[in-house]
Amino acid sequence: MKKELLTGNEAIARGAYEAGVTVATAYPGTPSTEIIETISQYRDIYAEWSPNEKVALEVGIGASIAGARVLVAMKHVGVNVAADPLLTFSYTGVNGGLVLVSADDPGMHSSQNEQDNRFYGRFAKIPVLEPSDSQEAKDFVRIALEISEQFDTPVMLRITTRIAHSRSPVELGERMVFSLKDYEKNPRKYVMIPAYARQRHLLVEQRRKALEDYSEKTPLNFVEWGDHKLGVITSGVSYQYAREVMGNVSYLKLGMTNPLPRKLIEDFVKQVDEVYVVEELEPFMEEQIRSWGLKVIGKDLLPRTGELSPELVAEKILGENIKTEVAATVEEELPMRPPTLCPGCPHRGVFYVLRKLKLVVTGDIGCYTLGTLPPLESLDTCICMGASIGTALGMEKARGREFARKVVAVIGDSTFMHSGITGLLDVVYNLGTVTTIILDNSTTAMTGHQDHPGTGITVKKQSSKPVDLPALIKALGIERVQVVDPYDLKQLEDIVRQEVSADEPSVVITRRACILLDKKKEGQAYEVELDKCTGCKSCMKLGCPSIAFRENTAQIDDTLCNGCGLCSQVCKFGAIRKAGEAGE
């Protein structure tokens, strides 16, 4: 049997292929993005980037009811967006199996919080599976689909960042033949009016009990007996950490963590002298086990924030300081390198202008969140995907029209498609006057340049009809819509001043493609005429990585400069020009 070294995300995609999935949907979000990107390469599977996670799940639900096997992927906060259809889908159940991948992010490597989505599984009363390596990530997709169809329920496959992005060997199999199930009209199952939903809720409770029995017997949950003096109950990547440092102790490895196998756990606890629950983030298993009157140790020692590691497990449980092998070490302490916008990023000039005008800026999720860091320091708020516009409206309603003249909402084009449209609709409907700036860089940049309805390109690289953004905004009821090049600072500043003073809602679209979409430089690099530079540091306020300050003058690294020209526009002394034009 052929083996390949796959990341967890690649393995999940492979698992979907082998298990006969024919429909896969997602909205990009780290650490889950590569799942749908990999699946899109399989010709036998229809794959799409949906405008947001709620739509992704709704498309998946439709495909499941129609009889297909389905995979829907999203990062942990995406499940918040999809929670509404998810909790009702738990009632209706499936036709073709559906697995929902929730990619949690302990440590917040690229997220605004580190919620533990196993609680969503318990809340929705659906099974939760947790793979501990890439092989299990692949295998658990098939098992999740089988559970889904056997128990008439969606199934959550919960992974974490380390599983998503780590590589381990995976044994590949053949694609199974899964015929599309027959579709039958069944309103009592799929139409959740109260009369039908009450009946379905009773079935959900019956299913919960059946799943508890399944969890006791499934080989997903198993014991590895060792020394009976110490036992470890664990799941996911935490199992690997514990095995690496705790040696010949006894392990209860749980691949299915909702519902928990109570009898299996009780028997395990009785047979060892001392039991630790090793799990990342919340005491999801520990609290349930304690509620059964069992004595276990968990979050008394282990943190409920951030990722675990072998070193941390050894230190907290064994009281040992260990060092694991790493590929390379650096002896010298490296300087801090805070994240920053790329050289030539079209967002930089926008934040420079907003800071200059001392506006209150409600921000959103995307590259432009970096506008909150020095020296740009423009953002006042950032809550979640699509929240910037509603937050700005709330400020206006709380503090009045005069305050609103100082408020702008900032949102990217992909995020606007995700969930910004409804916020702008609310501004119109509820007579708001705030100005919204849509930073249109023609991609979903922060997650790696995925397309969206505004780009007119599907995940399969097919051309579709791109959204006409100004026309869409006008259709929502906004009369004042202007499109501006964010590299033209004077025009941008004039338009922003004009729109924030208007007595009606307005939208400014700053349109310039992400500098990384086209690897070619924007233009000729710029340089500093040292005899003209006064050392005022105005150019440093842009926060451009290509500009440094040495020996009392600014200097430009031409290997980084993309020739956007923003620095020459902010220099009051004409000291910055295109290379080769100095002194003319």
- Looking from the CA of 49 toward its CB, the CA atoms found within 13 Å total 31
Which element (helix H / strand E) includes 158? Answer: strand 155-160
Q: Which residues pair with 231 in a beta bridge?
A: 250, 275
327, two tokens: 């590929």
Consult the annotation and say whether 367 binds a ligand: no
* CATH architecture of structural domain 2-216: 3-Layer(aba) Sandwich (3.40)
- Given the candidates 3.40.50.800, 3.40.50.970, 3.60.20.10, 3.90.79.10, the CATH classification of the domain at 346-511 is 3.40.50.970
Pairing between β-strand 46-49 and β-strand 98-104 as defined by DSSP bridges: unpaired
- pLDDT band of 584, cuts 50, 70, 90: very low
Q: Where do the structural domains in the chain lie, given as residue ranges?
A: 2-216, 221-318, 346-511, 526-578
More confident residue, 518 or 421: 421
Rounded percentage of the chain residues whose pLDDT exceeds 90: 91
Please tell me the predicted confidence (pLDDT) of residue 163.
96
Pairing between β-strand 23-26 and β-strand 3-7 as defined by DSSP bridges: unpaired
pLDDT of 524 higher than 60 = yes
Task: Give mean pLDDT, residues 151-158.
Answer: 98
Consult the annotation and say whether 564 binds a ligand: yes
Query: Which residues contact residue 237 at a Cβ distance below 8 angstroms, ignoring those fewer than 6 apart?
Result: 132, 160, 162, 163, 166, 280, 308
The CB density around residue 273, as the number of other CB atoms within 10 Å, is: 10
Asked if the domains at 221-318 and 526-578 fall in one CATH topology, the answer is no
Task: Give mean pLDDT, residues 471-481.
Answer: 98
The CB density around residue 274, as the number of other CB atoms within 10 Å, is: 15
Please tell me the predicted confidence (pLDDT) of residue 294.
98
Please tell me the predicted confidence (pLDDT) of residue 583.
53
Task: Give mean pLDDT, residues 127-146.
Answer: 98
Query: Which of 97-101, 210-214, 515-519, 540-544 is predicted with the least confidence, judged by mean pLDDT?
Result: 515-519
- Range 221-318 classified under CATH 1.10.4030.10: no
Consult the annotation and say whether 533 binds a ligand: yes
Consult the annotation and say whether 345 binds a ligand: no
Euclidean distance between CA atoms 307 and 305, whole angstroms = 7
CB–CB of 102/129 below 8 Å? no
Query: Which of 275-279, 465-469, 576-580 is predicted with the least confidence, judged by mean pLDDT?
Result: 576-580
- Looking from the CA of 248 toward its CB, the CA atoms found within 13 Å total 2
- What are the pLDDT digits (tens) for 184-207? 999 999 999 999 999 999 999 999
- What are the pLDDT digits (tens) for 358-373? 999 999 999 999 999 9
Helix H, strand E, coil C: the string for 394-457 is: HHHHHHCHHHHCCEEEEEEHHHHHHHHHHHHHHHHHCCCCCEEEEEECCCECCCCCECCCCCCE
Query: Which of 58-72, 158-172, 266-280, 517-531 is predicted with the least confidence, judged by mean pLDDT?
Result: 517-531
Q: Which residues pair with 72 in a beta bridge?
A: 25, 100
- What are the pLDDT digits (tens) for 215-245? 999 999 999 999 999 999 999 999 999 999 9
Please tell me the predicted confidence (pLDDT) of residue 293.
97
Euclidean distance between CA atoms 296 and 274, whole angstroms = 7
Euclidean distance between CA atoms 144 and 69, whole angstroms = 11
More confident residue, 125 or 323: 125
- pLDDT band of 523, cuts 50, 70, 90: confident
113, two tokens: 């919080």
* CATH architecture of structural domain 526-578: 2-Layer Sandwich (3.30)
pLDDT of 20 higher than 50 = yes
- pLDDT band of 335, cuts 50, 70, 90: confident
Query: Which of 147-151, 227-231, 306-310, 322-326 is predicted with the least confidence, judged by mean pLDDT?
Result: 322-326
- pLDDT band of 521, cuts 50, 70, 90: low
**pTM of the predicted model, to two decimals?**
0.90
Please tell me the predicted confidence (pLDDT) of residue 207.
98
Task: Give mean pLDDT, residues 437-446.
Answer: 94
Consult the annotation and say whether 544 binds a ligand: yes
Please tell me the predicted confidence (pLDDT) of residue 328.
60
Euclidean distance between CA atoms 438 and 386, whole angstroms = 11
CB–CB of 90/61 below 8 Å? no
Consult the annotation and say whether 561 binds a ligand: yes
Query: Which residues contact residue 102 at a Cβ distance below 8 angstroms, ignoring those fewer than 6 apart?
Result: 74, 75, 76, 78, 79, 117, 120, 156, 157, 158, 159
pLDDT of 171 higher than 70 = yes
Three-state DSSP state, 437 = strand
Mean pLDDT of the chain: 94
Consult the annotation and say whether 384 binds a ligand: no
pLDDT of 505 higher than 80 = yes
217, two tokens: 């017997």
Consult the annotation and say whether 382 binds a ligand: no
Please tell me the predicted confidence (pLDDT) of residue 327.
56
Task: Give mean pLDDT, residues 169-190.
Answer: 94
CB–CB of 79/105 below 8 Å? no
State the chain's maximal CA–CA distance in angstroms. 86
- What are the pLDDT digits (tens) for 44-74? 999 999 999 999 999 999 999 999 999 999 9
Please tell me the predicted confidence (pLDDT) of residue 323.
74
- What are the pLDDT digits (tens) for 399-422? 999 999 999 999 999 999 999 999
